[in-house]
Amino acid sequence: MFEKLLSSAKFGPWELNSHVVMPPLTRNRAQPDFSPNEQAPLYYGQRSGAGLVICEATQVSPEATGYPRTPGIWTKKQTALWREVVDQIHAGGAKAVIQLWHCGRIAHPDNQPEGCYPIAPSAVKPKMPIYTDVSGGLTENPTPREMIEEDIRGVVESYRSACQNAKSAGFDGVELHGANGYIVDQFASSNTNLRTDDWGGSLEKRMRFMEEVLKAMTSVYDPACVGVRLSPYGKFNEIDDENPAAKYEAMLRTAEEAGIGYVHIIRPVVSGNIQMKASALDGEVIDTARRIFSRRVIGAAGYTPQSAEAELQAGRVDLVAFGRAFVGNPDLVERIRRNVPFAESDEATFYTPGSKGYADYPAAT
């Protein structure tokens, strides 16, 4: 029934046991020092039935942090714990990728290591509130400090250093978080990048940051083992570009020119953690990726096993990611194989601390 979806896949340099991807899922369960929590190896190992496991968005440096309890990969301890995660993913037969993240202006000092403060392409304050454990609820976002040239160069280098740590941890590849209104998206978007220097203004200049970061990442990893996740037409975290179609195409061209192995496209049916209405754009963004990007495409957001199989059979995508379903279904691939219905994932525990709703979901009997 799902012949293509469940068959082995050649994905660049990797031989995968299926065409199923576990995408990066933020779970807000990191330790106080931003290390993965002690159950992370178990959690990811349970889900290693996927062909490719992309670990949750992981901050590249202390100042890259933005939310409470989210992991980093800038210290030896963090890297060592990620090694334990990778070992469990590999033991289950999957390849392991880590998504590298800088929150930019979507951040609060309460959620950052001491001495840090949010930075961004421009000093554009988010109107929406942000959650902090210190306040115990939503609180006002500060106005970020506009990055100077030294800041930008430092952030680019932090991606290079994070890639070196990821390689030390044994990750097969790395994925740039270019979606959902974080720093790459902030540089690319006209409403959050008001700069008039070489890092802003024209669309071409707004792409420069993504270009430089990808150069840094591919200086450590073979370009075939590097990807980028994009959220075309998404408005999560108040991104509102003057020409979203042109911006999306420019980001795809930047990825193409960087020679990286894949693009990971979030269809507009999902915006951040919010389910949207399906539209013609869901197909259009995949078609656009195929038209501009010459290598591999991962489709994400709103897929069922049936629609994933159809997209794969038609050659529209190379792999398909199942997001929320992987939270409550650690054995998701086996459930597809046996045609067992997916269990419900408890949204109330998606982002809460503690073990409940994390590694305690049972496999189907």
Residue at token pair 């399906």? 278
pLDDT in tens, 207-265: 999 999 999 999 999 999 999 999 999 999 999 999 999 999 999 999 999 999 999 99
Q: Which of 43, 67, 159, 182 is catalytic?
A: 182
CA–CA distance, 55 with 126 (Å, rounded to integer): 27
Which residues are 15's β-sheet partners?
10
Phi, psi of 78 (to 5 degrees): -60, -45
Query: Cα–Cα distance between 54 and 98 in angstroms, integer?
Result: 5
Distance CA 72, CA 223 (A): 22
pLDDT (0 to 100) of residue 64: 98
Q: What is the mean pLDDT of residues 37-49?
A: 97
Interatomic CA distance for residues 264 and 246, integer angstroms: 18
Judge contact between 63 and 109, C-beta under 8 A: no
Alpha helix stretches (DSSP H) within 47-148: 76-91
Domain 9-349 in CATH: superfamily? Aldolase class I (3.20.20.70)
Q: Would residue 182 show up in a list of annotated catalytic residues for this protein?
A: yes
Cβ within 8 Å of residue 99, ≥6 positions away? 24, 54, 55, 56, 57, 58, 174, 175, 176, 177, 229
The 3-state DSSP class for residue 186 equals: helix
Q: SS3 breakdown of the chain: % helix, strand, coil, rounded to 5?
A: 35, 15, 50
Tell me the C-alpha distance between 71 and 177, whole Å. 14
Tokens of 109: 């000092």
Domain limits, the chain: 9-349
What type of residue is 170? Answer: G
Lookup result for tokens 């178990």: 42
Q: Give the residue among 48, 41, 26 at the shortest CA–CA distance from 95.
A: 48
Nearest Cα neighbor of 172 from 309, 46, 15 is 15
pLDDT of res. 365: 86
- pLDDT exceeds 80 at position 112: yes
pLDDT in tens, 263-317: 999 999 877 677 777 788 889 999 999 999 999 999 999 999 999 999 999 999 9
Q: What phi and psi values does residue 188 have, to the nearest 5 degrees?
A: -80, -20
Distance between CA atoms of residues 351 and 89, nearest Å? 22
- Rounded Cα–Cα distance for residues 168 and 83 (Å): 8
Q: Are 49 and 5 in contact (CB under 8 A)?
A: no
The one-letter amino acid at 172: D
- Tell me the pLDDT tens digit for each residue of 310-354: 999 999 999 999 999 999 999 999 999 999 999 999 999 999 999
